[in-house]
Structure formats: C-alpha cells, structure tokens
C-alpha cells in the first residue's frame, strides 16, 4: 500500500477490491506458500460447495484430486520464483466429489517488503466451454467422415468450408477450394441455379433434393442431389448457406438401365402381340373352312354308324378351337386398342335364357335363373353375351364334381347386376387379385381343366369399356360367385 496515501483512501480502496472479489463470477482463492487457504470468495463457495468457514485454514489439497497433487508443487515453485501462471487447464474436485474442469490464473502475493508470501488463484469453470468444444469436435468428425460432400459458403458464394467428401467428389483439396467462389464447381450453363438457391436461402428457405449437375476439377460432370440450408449467426441473421451434395451417379445409371430394360421388355411384348395377331388371323381361315367341310360331311354321312359319331366329335373339337382362336383375336384387338363396341338396346334376360338353353342341353349341372326389375340396357349385345357365356362356361368348367349353378339378374335404378354362382372348386384368397390378369390360371394341376387364362381378362375389359365393374367372392373347395354391374346407359358410347 502506498504510504503517502491517506488512511481513508486506502480503506476505501480495500473495500472496493473486497467487493470486486466478492461479486466476481470466477472463484478467487488465496493461499500461503505452504498451501493453507487464507481467503475464499462467494464464487468459490458456489463452485466447490465449501463455505468460506469450511475452507479457510484448510490445505488447498482439499479441492485437488489425488492424482493431481503433484501440480501443486509445480505451482508453488513457479510462484516462489515470482512467476505467474496463466490459462492453466486442470481439474479440481468439489465437496460433492464432482470433478470440475477449470482454467487457473495464479499470481504471487507479496508483503509490504516485496517478499512473496502466498498465491492468489482465479479459477474459471470451463465445463461449458469444454462441452462446446467436444460437441464441435464431434460435429467436425461427422462432417469429415460423411460420404456426402458438405460445403458452406457466404451469401456472396465464397466457400468457407469443404469436407473430405467434397474433396473426393469434386477433386479440389480444402485449401484449393476455401476462399474461391462456388461457381468453381458449377457448369457454366447452370450458373443461374446459384442465383435461385441464394435467393431461397436469403428468404430463410431450405432447398431440398435439388437434382442437378456439377463439374469436377478434371472437367467431369457428376449428377448430384443438393440440400441447401441457411446458416444463422447468434443473432439469427442469415450469414451463409450449408450445402450437402450427394453423388447420384449410381441412381441415375440404375434409372437409365431400368428404362433400357423397360424398352426391351416393351419391344418383346409388342412383338408377342404382333405374333399373336398374325397367327390368329392365319388360323381363323383354315379353322372356319374345316368346320364348313365337317358340316358338309355330317350332311353326307348316313344317320347311323361310327362315321357320323366321329364327325360330330370333330365338329365339337373344331368349335372349341374356334372359341380359343376368337379369344386370341379379342386379346389382340384389346392390346391394339381396336376392340370396337356397337351399342344397342336389349334385354339381358333374353341373353341369359339363350345362353342357358345351350348349356342346359350340353351340361349335367342343374341351372337356376332368378331375375327382378327391368333388365333393359344400352350396350354391345354380342360382347355382353360373350361375358355371360364366359362366366357360365367357367362355372361349368370349374365344377367338375357337379353342383347347381345359380344366375341372378337384378335391375337397379341405373344399372343391372348379374351374379353367377357355382358350387365348384373355388379360388384361393391369395390369387383372387390376379384372376383378371392376362394368361393367369389358378387351377390345381390335379384337375387338368383346359384353358388359356384369357377369358376373365377379356371379360373385365369388356365390362369396364361399358363403365361397369366385375368382382369375385369365393371359398376354396366350396364355390365362387362372379358378379358384374352394367350401367343401363354405358358411358363409352
């Protein structure tokens, strides 16, 4: 203390210093050279949990973890030699046993003769700082180990960070890229994209999954998917943009490959359709003349005898063949979008009766026909006849053990509903969804029932072309009900 200073000034100054020490946010402790604590401020109490009265008079080792006691020797030796210690990062121990990371500043205390008699220690809790540094280190590690290029830039497009993946993807090292304009990797004709992206960022918007092309140091073009987000400073002002770029070369190549395969499959499918169209046309003429000649033969063969029986059987086989060919013809027309419709007014009841008349004589199944309401519709008569015929013939075909077949036709306000119910082999739930697809068959091979799997596909197309719908309910081993609804006024006219 200055000897010329009046006592009251000295006292006032001391009181001021004491207040500063008391209200400091850092722990301030003083100790003698042998380590005895001589003062302990309020922040020291808060930080270490010992009250001033518990700490003063104790040895400083009170707050030093056992494995760090050697530090004290070093500190005392530095202080004894009149040297200050700054930013000494270490760990101290609180009363609760919790370890606290600290930054220490230690200075010698001299008496009025200038002799060092102790040390003053300012301890700052750096737990938060350490945590923040650890978090930053972790984030930096994530960014550096990411497979995606992560780049940040200012709002004028100057690159401010460049991770390892960016270096791998674009070929520029971090040093080569930082400080350069982002146009370094933007192809000339795409520079306008940067204005759009920065425009969005300035509005505080992110840009996600923006698929574009960037150029590498070698001049190679790579397809990438960009996600760009604003970077905000502490006062929430947008100061730049962070950009994550994912190389989508593989995705693009896979897409191209898929497109190529699709084209190949389409070409094959088109060729198959052409082949079916051509062969069915070629088959139709000889089968029609064969049927004609067989009918002539039937007339010229005597009423009895084996010859007549064989001719009849041949005619039935030729008729089956003709039906299959007709299905193939319809299939080709559908594929080519050439299945024409001719609408007229008719009564579905008459159609069902005609169909049943044919089956009743050729099948051993008992048929029941129920109808109600008006059954008059505007539709393609031949096509609807084909639908009913197909569903009835399936009901017969897939009931090899017999069982009755019920046909119900109900006239509703705007539509007519037709249901064909059999007690046949039924259909497994798992395949119901596929029944109406081309060439799908769900028959157990044990039944050996012939067919091509086209009838239901054609049936569904015909019903849908009339604006109607078709569905099936079935229990395996018990039987099936196929139902279709036909609008009275078909929409495709």
Binding site for ligand ADP (CB under 6 A): 394-395, 398, 422, 424-427, 435, 440-443, 451-457, 480
Within 8 A by CB and 6+ apart from 180, the residues are 158, 159, 172
What radius of gyration do the chain's Cα atoms show?
47
Q: How far apart are CA 142 and CA 139, in angstroms?
A: 5
> How far apart are CB 434 and ligand ADP at their closest, in Å?
9
The secondary structure of residue 158, as a DSSP letter, is B
Nearer to ligand ADP by Cβ, of 54 and 423: the residue is 423
Closest to ligand ADP by CB, 407 vs 427, is 427
The neighbour count for residue 159, using CB atoms within 10 Å, is: 23
CB closer to ligand ADP, 157 vs 455: 455
Q: What tokens appear for 290 in the block?
A: 């064969």
Q: Are the C-beta atoms of 389 and 430 separated by less than 8 Å?
A: no
Closest to ligand ADP by CB, 367 vs 398, is 398
CB of 443 to ligand ADP, least distance (A): 4
Q: Are 375 and 348 in contact (CB under 8 A)?
A: yes
Least distance (Å) between residue 311 CB and ligand ADP: 27
Q: Smallest gap, in angstroms, from Cβ of residue 254 to ligand ADP? A: 35
Tell me the two tokens of residue 357.
């008349």
Q: Are 22 and 41 in contact (CB under 8 A)?
A: yes
Q: Which residue, 207 or 456, is less far from ligand ADP as judged by CB?
A: 456
Q: Which is nearer to ligand ADP, 356 or 427 (CB)?
A: 427
Give the bridge partners for 484, in sequence order.
418, 470
Beta carbon nearer to ligand ADP, 416 or 425: 425
CB 371 within 8 A of CB 409: yes
DSSP three-state, residue 368:
strand
Question: Is residue 226 within a helix (H) or strand (E), and if so which, with residue range?
Answer: strand 221-232
Q: What's the min distance (Å) between Cβ of 267 and ligand ADP?
A: 26
* Residue nearest ligand ADP by beta-carbon distance: 451
Smallest distance, ligand ADP to C-beta of residue 246, A: 46
Nearer residue to ligand ADP within complex by CB, 118 or 479: 479
Residue closer to ligand ADP by CB (options 367, 457) is 457
Smallest separation, CB 456 to ligand ADP (Å): 3
Long-range contacts of 410-413 (CB under 8 A, 24+ apart): 410/371, 410/372, 410/373, 411/371, 411/372, 411/373, 411/374, 411/375, 411/376, 412/373
β 99-110/207-215 pair status: unpaired
CB 284 to ligand ADP: min, Å? 19
Report which of 16, 31, 57, 25 is spatially closest to residue 121, judged by C-alpha positions.
Answer: 31
In whole angstroms, the minimum distance from the beta carbon of 380 to ligand ADP comes to 19
- Tokens, residue 122: 């300012």
- Identify which of 225, 198, 221, 191 has the alpha carbon closest to the alpha carbon of residue 211: 225
């Amino acid at each position: 203390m200055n000897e010329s200073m009046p006592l009251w000034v000295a006292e006032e100054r001391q009181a001021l210093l004491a207040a500063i020490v008391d209200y400091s946010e850092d722990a301030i402790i003083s100790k003698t050279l042998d380590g005895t604590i001589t003062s302990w401020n309020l922040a020291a109490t808060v930080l270490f949990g010992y009250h001033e009265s518990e700490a003063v008079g104790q040895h400083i080792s009170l707050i030093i973890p056992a494995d760090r006691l050697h530090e004290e020797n070093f500190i005392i030796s530095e202080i004894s030699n009149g040297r200050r210690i700054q930013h000494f990062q270490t760990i101290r121990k609180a009363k609760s046993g919790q370890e606290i990371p600290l930054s220490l500043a230690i200075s010698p205390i001299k008496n009025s003769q200038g002799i060092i008699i102790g040390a003053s220690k300012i301890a700052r809790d750096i737990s938060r700082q350490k945590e923040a540094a650890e978090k930053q280190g972790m984030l930096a590690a994530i960014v550096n180990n990411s497979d995606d290029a992560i780049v940040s830039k200012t709002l004028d497009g100057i690159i401010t960070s460049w991770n390892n993946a960016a270096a791998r993807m674009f070929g520029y090292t971090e040093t080569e890229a930082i400080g350069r304009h982002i146009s370094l990797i933007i192809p000339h004709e795409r520079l306008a994209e940067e204005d759009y992206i920065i425009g969005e960022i300035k509005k505080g918007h992110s840009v996600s999954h923006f698929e574009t092309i960037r150029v590498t140091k070698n001049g190679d073009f790579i397809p990438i998917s960009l996600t760009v987000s604003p970077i905000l400073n502490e006062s929430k002002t947008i100061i730049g943009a962070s950009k994550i770029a994912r190389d989508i070369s593989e995705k693009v190549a896979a897409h191209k490959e898929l497109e190529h395969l699709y084209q190949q499959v389409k070409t094959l499918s088109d060729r198959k359709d052409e082949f079916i169209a051509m062969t069915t046309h070629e088959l139709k003429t000889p089968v029609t003349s064969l049927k004609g000649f067989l009918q002539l033969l039937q007339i010229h063969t005597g009423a009895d005898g084996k010859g007549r029986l064989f001719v009849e059987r041949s005619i039935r086989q030729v008729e089956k063949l003709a039906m299959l060919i007709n299905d193939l013809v319809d299939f080709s027309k559908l594929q080519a979008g050439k299945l024409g419709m001719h609408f007229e007014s008719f009564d579905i009841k008459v159609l069902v009766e005609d169909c049943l008349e044919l089956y009743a004589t050729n099948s051993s199944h008992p048929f029941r026909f129920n109808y109600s309401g008006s059954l008059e519709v505007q539709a393609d008569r031949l096509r609807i006849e084909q639908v009913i015929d197909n569903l009835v013939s399936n009901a017969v075909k897939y009931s090899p053990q017999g069982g009755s077949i019920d046909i119900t036709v109900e006239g509703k306000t705007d539509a007519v509903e037709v249901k064909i119910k059999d007690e046949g082999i039924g259909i497994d739930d798992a395949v119901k969804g596929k029944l109406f697809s081309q060439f799908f068959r769900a028959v157990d091979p044990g039944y050996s029932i012939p067919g091509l799997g086209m009838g239901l596909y054609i049936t569904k197309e015909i019903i849908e072309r009339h604006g109607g719908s078709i569905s099936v309910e079935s229990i395996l081993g018990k039987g099936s009900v196929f139902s279709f609804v036909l609008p009275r006024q078909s929409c495709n006219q």
